[in-house]
Amino acid sequence: MSYFNELYQEVILDHNKRPRNFGELPEADCQADGNNPLCGDRLTVYLKIDGNTVTDVRFKGAGCAISTASASIMTETLKGKTAEEIERMFRKFHAMVTGKTTPSAEATADLGKLAVFEGVSGYPVRVKCATLPWHTMLAALHHSDDTVSTE
């Protein structure tokens, strides 16, 4: 197996081709735009929040396979989670894709499907592609009006 298959996992290719929770969320409580000037990736993340819990999340935009799949899988992961749970999850995700945690069953166990992005750590220039949807989502969560940029 050649190395790039560790990056372009089947799950990632599938989410790229058929992104879940794609489109606007008219009843969103908050939203934020993100862009990666280097790649030309642009996306908007919409959140519906009840108290401290995210009840619905959608995204739209255009980007590379890694950022599209990351956004898609992220939206599947967030529903029903509190802001604190989401931030804890992002810290783990970030540590994994930047190679700061040794890949192990323990480290990625509670990341669930997000573990498919482990291969990103071997491609430092692609880390921003995987994290852009998360930074954008966190900006929406914190009601930041600024557009998030990876640069």
Partner 1 sequence: MTATNVARGVDRASAWFDVDKVRADFPILKQQIRGNPLVYFDNAATSQKPQAVIDAITRFYSTDNANIHRGVHLLSQRATAAYEAAREKLQRFINAPESRETIFVRSTTEAVNLVARCYGARHIGAGDEIIISAMEHHSNIVPWQMLCEEKGARLRIVPITDRGELIMEEYERLLGPRTRFVSIVHLSNVLGTINPVKEVIRLAHERRVPVFVDGAQAAAHLRVDVQDLDCDFYAFSGHKLYGPSGIGVLYGKARLLDEMPPYQGGGDMISTVTFEKTKYNVLPYKYEAGTPNIAGAVALGAAVDYLETLGLETVIRYEAELLSYLMKRLAVVPGVRLIGTANNKASVQSFSIEGIHPHDIGTIVDEQGVAIRTGHHCAQPLMDFYRVPATARASLSFYNTFEEVDVLIAALHKVIEVFK
Length of the chain: 151
- Rule CB under 8 A: say whether 116 interacts with partner 1: no
Comparison of 92 and 128: residue with beta carbon closer to partner 1: 128
Residue from 15, 25, 34, 42 touching partner 1 (CB under 8 A): that is 42
The binder of partner 1 chosen from 32, 47, 49, 66 (CB under 8 A):
66
Which of 1, 2, 18, 104 touches partner 1 (CB under 8 A)? 2
Using CB under 8 A as the binding rule, whether residue 126 contacts partner 1 is answered as yes
Q: Which two tokens stand for residue 25?
A: 């969320």
Binding site for partner 1 (CB under 8 A): 2-4, 7-8, 13, 16-17, 37-42, 62-66, 123, 126, 129
